Amino acid sequence: GMLLGFNKSNANNSAVLLDLPGTARRNHNPCLICAGAPGYGKSYTAKRIVKAELQRGAQAFIVEPDEYGEWATALAGVPNKAVIDMAGGDFGCDALRIFPERVAGSYWLDYMIPMLGLDVRSVAVGRLRTLLTPAARRALGITSTAALMRYIRDIQAPVDEADTRSPQVVQLADDLRPVLLALESWATYEFTRAIFDDALPIPDLAALDVTIWQTGSLDLPDAEEMANPHLYAALSDRQRASIAIYGMLVR
């Protein structure tokens, strides 16, 4: 394992080794908790451990709530990494792009419907659910949230009176109009760009040595706001977007 320190509590002054991968191979859970008062060296120890594991060939996925980016600074010398501001404009965080095709549509619904404030039992969401099945998305070219918006716009009523659409398409367009209005409104916010801008790159997590997810720019509600229906209903749009983005990060 890596040299974590030396035992000063006895005369042997023996080395303290930490072998997290070895613990996993011995069928134990390789968990480590760093606890202590402020200034006792928790962050310093954690960074030493991560650097050592990287040298041993491990991957690191770090969720950093600190707005000053101490982990990005500590691992500045690692070339193969991505530092992702979850509400920023460097990388995309669109469920239809970041998750495997078989689950992307259902995950999109999990996070976006609460964010948009749509009724999960409504006709609009029912129609949307059928569009987001893997087969429908392949057939219609819905590869992103932006592409979904383009599709719904395309089936809306034409500007002239010569409407050549079939009655089924007209009904679908009418049913999906609340979805399009909600999406277009949310797409105007700068803090939702990671969801709506399909030109942003998606990080190849499997190929990176280090991924640092910076969540300091998210405005996450506290536990009471999440548990109390009255407080949850009063959440700001930024908080609702933060819940959706952080949920996708965790998943």
Average pLDDT over residues 165-189: 90
Phi, psi of 64 (to 5 degrees): -115, 105
Residues 191-233: tens digit of each pLDDT: 999 999 999 999 888 899 999 998 888 899 999 999 999 999 9
pLDDT at 207: 92
pLDDT at 31: 86
pLDDT at 160: 62
In this structure, the strands spanning 81-85 and 15-18 are unpaired
Calculate the average pLDDT of the chain: 90
* Helix pair 101-116, 167-186: axis angle to 10 deg: 70
pLDDT at 4: 85
Q: CA 38, CA 232: separation in Å to the nearest integer?
A: 33
User: Highest mean pLDDT: which of 3-12, 25-34, 181-190?
Assistant: 181-190
Average pLDDT over residues 5-20: 89
pLDDT at 128: 95
Residues 124-166: tens digit of each pLDDT: 999 999 999 999 999 999 999 999 999 999 888 675 666 677 8
In the chain, which ranges are E strands?
2-6, 15-18, 60-64, 81-85, 210-214
